[in-house]
Amino acid sequence: MDVILRDQLPELLTRRNEAALLAAEAPAKTPNLARFSQQLRALSSLNARLICMEADRPVYNEMVQGVRRVMNTDICGLFLLTATADQLDLVGLAGKDIEMPLEHGRLALSEIQRPAVQAFQEEYLIHVPDVLAMRGASPLLPGCRSLLALPIMGREGPVGVFEFARRAAGGFTGEEIDLAGMLVDQMAYQIENYRLIRQLSASRDAVIHGMARLAESRGGDIGGHLDRICAYSQILAQRLLGRPSYLHVVTEEWIATLTRAAALHDIGKVGIPDRILLKPGRLDEDEFLIMRTHARLGADILQDLMAAHGAFPMLEVGTQIALAHHERWDGGGYPSGLAGTEIPLCARIVALADVYDALTSKRVYKSAWTRDETLAQVAGLAGSHFDPDLVDVFLQDSSELELVRQRFPD
């Protein structure tokens, strides 16, 4: 395939400028007020939805779907620059009869034959009225004939590209190009905010995770315990996704929050004296009573953080886990003696993950149990220590559990 060389851009831009002059000289058309009103309503609805959504991949899908509706195009794609700054990643795609998965939409910045790459590199819109008439042009998807790619400009340069496509030749009118430019400018502001929020969120989570690791290291465990707890909890929660009994709680977003928050389960151990926390043998009754206070102490630490700096899902779920991950299904746990579904689901999941990891790990006072021995023990504790439904789900496939152990060894 021939490649659109950069020295072809003057010709392309000249044709675009000539088209703009002809459009300016043409008699003014009566605006389609009904269509204009519909576009304004669609844009207002899109902005309202975006404001209320979390900064993650579903936001980008919502964004391209809304922009496509406003533009009335067959297909709309959103590319963002990857962290390595050498590729454009297709993070959102909307249209009819689309089969290409997002993971197949990564473009190297050297692929200048792609209008999205060219728009990004030149920081200017690329309009191709007919792909078949433009030597070397490569469409967003097979069957597209008209393309419009606009760079998304951030504070320090382009951060991505919106690409619009139609299956029919003929291109986009001057009015449509103006509308696309306005939409992309608005979405650029949203995207920059999302990127900043995600960076801050990642930094905040890293600090909190570091606190959890510090608490864990005081007990002499600096291996893969926290990573395994998070991974086991994620596996169990994923297996609950879509089950009727859990539809009101378990979503992809909730699972992502649980996976991070599970690391906070023992954060209260920072307040336990070394003579108890580091004791190599079994604790006596008085020592065990002190050790039990780590659950309440951990919840208090996280609640104090929220009181001082504001609540957000990871801390809220982490507080529930820290407080209740030693409660028992039969009501014999601590600190509150909760029973059954009185125990938050997140805490019931982490309780199971924590015991499984404790039994399969070597400690100064015991050897590691085998996987089969541990699974048999967990099965025997269903209905007393653990939620029996969660045990059934947990025992479905133990191969995933073994992979976690291999991935995060002590």
CATH assignment of the domain containing 347: 1.10.3210.10
- What's the chain's average pLDDT? 81
Q: Does one domain contain both 143 and 226?
A: no
Amino acid 96: pLDDT:
74
What is the tens place of the pLDDT at every residue in 149-173? 999 998 888 999 999 999 899 889 9
Q: Does one domain contain both 281 and 230?
A: yes
What is the tens place of the pLDDT at every residue in 47-105? 555 445 555 445 788 888 888 888 889 999 999 988 788 899 988 888 877 665 555 57
Domain count, the chain: 2
**Highest mean pLDDT: which range of 47-56, 138-147, 391-400:** 391-400
Q: Does residue 210 lie within any of the structural domains?
A: no
Q: Does residue 208 lie within any of the structural domains?
A: no
> Taking the complete model, does pTM exceed 0.85, yes or no?
no
Higher pLDDT, 103 or 304: 304
Mean pLDDT of 186-213: 74
Q: Does one domain contain both 299 and 400?
A: yes
Band of pLDDT at residue 208, cut at 50, 70 and 90:
confident
Q: Token digits for 85? A: 């700054």
Amino acid 7: pLDDT:
43
Higher pLDDT, 358 or 55: 358
Q: Does one domain contain both 182 and 114?
A: yes
Q: Does residue 49 lie within any of the structural domains?
A: yes
Q: Does residue 205 lie within any of the structural domains?
A: no
Last-in-domain residue among 196, 211, 234: 196
Higher pLDDT, 109 or 28: 109
Amino acid 375: pLDDT:
92
Amino acid 6: pLDDT:
41
Which range marks the domain in which residue 299 is found? 219-407
DSSP string, 181-216: HHHHHHHHHHHHHHHHHHHHHHHHHHHHHHHHHHHH
What is the tens place of the pLDDT at every residue in 18-46? 444 334 444 444 446 555 555 555 555 55
Task: Please provide residue 169's backbone torsions phi and psi, each rounded to the nearest 5 degrees.
Answer: -75, 165
Mean pLDDT of 182-190: 85
Mean pLDDT of 194-211: 71
Q: Does one domain contain both 226 and 280?
A: yes
Amino acid 2: pLDDT:
34
Q: Does one domain contain both 223 and 187?
A: no
Q: Does one domain contain both 115 and 259?
A: no
Q: Does residue 213 lie within any of the structural domains?
A: no
